[in-house]
Structure 1
Amino acid sequence: MNGAAAMLLACALDPANADTIAFARLIGARLGARELLLLGLSRDQLAALVKRHFSRALDHAEIPTAVLWSPHWQFVSELRTLLLQHDITAATHAADAHCLATIIATACLRPDHLWRDLGLSGRDDVTSILHRHYPRFIARNVKNLRWKKFLAQEVALANGRAVTFAPGCPGCEDFAFCYPERASE
């Protein structure tokens, strides 16, 4: 856990809560790098999330006023909707579920493995978060696909489109591994 995540946990209302720990890691990874916009949350959403979990952790002035813009917001919206449609079992607050789905979907715009895009330590961290919140949905990953590939596949199938990659996938070092048929294009 990085220093920013530890600082957030030190301000936590319930530092042992699994969601609080997950949000400390997700927000902390971006806070330390001054990249809070990469969470995909609006200023109000982020301020409310911080207030729910980390009382007085951030000065409101530290929260960016801009919102990340991307030509791929349709993908983000579709993935967020898909995640929220599935058995959200762990979220204690509906807005937390929405924030988590937004953070995960927005991370799929970045050009690396999902765990790195989320600022986590490895694939197991993503698996743990997804399993905690969307257990029946992620159980469909019977081929043990990488999470970003699986999520992009599920978005395409849910919307009646051909399976393709997430917007950030082409920039990943393992794009040719995940999509060998596309790497030669």
Structure 2
Amino acid sequence: MSAALQLHSDREQFFARLKPDSSAWLSPNHEWLACMIASWCAGQGVLPDFMGLESGQFSQLKNHLFPGIGIPDQAASGSKPDFSRMLEKDDLINLLKSSSQADIAETDWIIGILVAGSLGSDHLWQDLGLWSRSQLSAMLQYNFPELAAKNTKDMKWKKFLYKQLCEAEGLYLCRVPSCEVCTDYAKCYGSEE
């Protein structure tokens, strides 16, 4: 079995353990968090230890949504986000908090994980360990509906979030910290003809 197939299989196995017996998720966030945790446990994505949350937050997440399931605290991935690039951490947190739908623990967990995933060098959905871009779109629309509604041109989400930060500062030429290493750099910054 190839390494990619093995990671996919491992992710599916972790996900099956996280899925509620009744097949009823507590909220849409519950399923998205399960996808991210399954990928993280299988070594996919770039989320660091505690998935980028404070250890207490991560314990709350596990105990609230996945009680009794042995989820590790440390990342299985060898790839780590580059925290030196996160000069905008507080600004990104404030942007997401001010745009959030509800003030619940899940929102703080989603924000912390999104911020950590923003430090990766791939598309945000991949860095987070989500299984598709549509999952990320749905998660952002659910948790940050007004902010997500501003992405009328279907811009890549990481680029869109950083563009919002730049526009708030009055800057209109803005790049995500990881753009130069992204495999789609030419698509985002290449000729539009």
The SS at the match of 2:134 is helix
Q: Does 1:135 align with 2:131?
A: no
**C-alpha contact (below 8 Å) 2:122/2:178 kept by paired residues:** yes
Match of 1:88 in 2: 101
Q: Pairwise mapping of residues 76-155 of structure 1 onto structure 2 (< 5 A)?
A: 76-89=89-102, 94-155=104-165
The corresponding residue for 1:37 is 48
**Dislocated runs of 4+, deviation >4 Å:** 10-14
Aligned-residue identity in percent:
25
Unpaired runs of 5+ residues, structure 2, are 1-10
Aligned to 2:30: 20
Q: How far apart, CA to CA, are the structure 2 residues paired with 1:148 and 1:8?
A: 27
Q: 1:73 aligns with which of 77, 82, 86?
A: 86
Aligned residue pair count: 175
**Which ranges in structure 1 are unaligned for 5 or more consecutive residues?**
none
Is the Cα–Cα contact under 8 Å of residues 130 and 138 in structure 1 kept in the other structure? yes
| Counterpart in the other structure of 2:58 | 46
Shift in alpha-carbon separation, 1:48–1:177, aligned structure 2, 3 A: same
Contact 1:11 1:56 in 2 (8 A): no
Which residue identity lines up with residue 80 of structure 1 in the other structure?
A: I
Looking at structure 2, the residues matched to 163 and 80 of structure 1 have their Cα atoms a distance apart, in angstroms, of 21
Q: Which amino acid aligns with 1:108?
A: S
TM-score w.r.t. the length of structure 2 is: 0.78
Which has the larger displacement, 102-111 or 129-138? Answer: 102-111
Root-mean-square deviation (CA, aligned residues, Å) is 2.8
TM-score by length of 1: 0.81
Code of the aligned partner of 1:112 = D
The alpha-carbon deviation at position 2 of structure 1 amounts to: 2.2
Q: Partner residue of 2:5?
A: none
Contact 1:13/1:53, CA 8 A, preserved across alignment? no
Equivalent residues of 2:86, 2:119 under 8 A apart = no
